[in-house]
Amino acid sequence: MRAQISTRVNTGSKPAGVLRLLATLLLLMAVLSPLAAQAQGNYVYVNNQAAANSVSGYSVSATGALTQLSGSPFSTSGVGANVVCYGLNRIVLSPVNNLLFVANTGDRTISSFQINPATGVLTLVAGSPFPTLLSLDS
């Protein structure tokens, strides 16, 4: 008498597998949906640090080609300066509300812009630029 070996694998019930798949898809959508809503995925911004400081904005094509945005460069209403000090010419994106923050080295202020997700165009936030109360090392 020969013994038979079963090769059948128990994968669980079909409803449990479907629920796992749905849970995975929901988690994936929850993680990726905020990324799709951010303006920063298709635009690049540069802090120019000119005496009348400004930000140049570009749209980025699928091939990586840059096209200057309408209205660019955008005035920060702050004073830029070419100071050789690490980090003083920073520009930071906040994905929460499509905000762009720009350091104005010459007057040590920070300008805040709202990014239009459809066009990439920057609008200066009311009251901007904001004082930092920082001083440069001498």
Mean local confidence (pLDDT), 41-68: 88
Q: What is the pLDDT of residues 86-115, one digit of tens each?
A: 555 688 888 778 899 888 888 888 899 999
> How much is the pLDDT for 72?
92
pLDDT reading at 119 higher than 60: yes
Does the structure show a pLDDT above 80 at 13?
no
Amino acid at 56: S
Please tell me the total count of domains within the chain. Answer: 1
* Higher-pLDDT residue of 63, 137: 63
The more confidently predicted of residues 11 and 68 is 68
Task: Report pTM.
Answer: 0.64
Burial class (CB in 10 A: 0-12, 13-18, 19+), 40: middle
Is residue 83, in this structure, part of any structural domain at all?
yes
Residue 9's pLDDT is 44
The two three-digit tokens of residue 134, written as one number: 């920082």
Q: What percent of the chain has pLDDT over 90?
A: 25
d(CA 79, CA 75): 10
The single residue listed with the structure tokens 């849970």 is 23
Decide if 114 is inside a domain: yes
Q: What is the mean pLDDT of the chain?
A: 74
Is 126 contained in some domain?
yes
Mean pLDDT calculated for residue range 72-87: 77
DSSP at 73: S
**Helix/strand/coil for 59:** strand
| 65 belongs to a structural domain | yes
**Among 33, 34, 56, 39, residue whose Cα is nearest residue 102:** 56
Tokens of 120: 């990439």
Q: DSSP letter at 108?
A: T
- Whether 8 is covered by a domain: the verdict is no
In a domain, 32, yes or no: no
> What is the residue range of 127's domain?
39-131
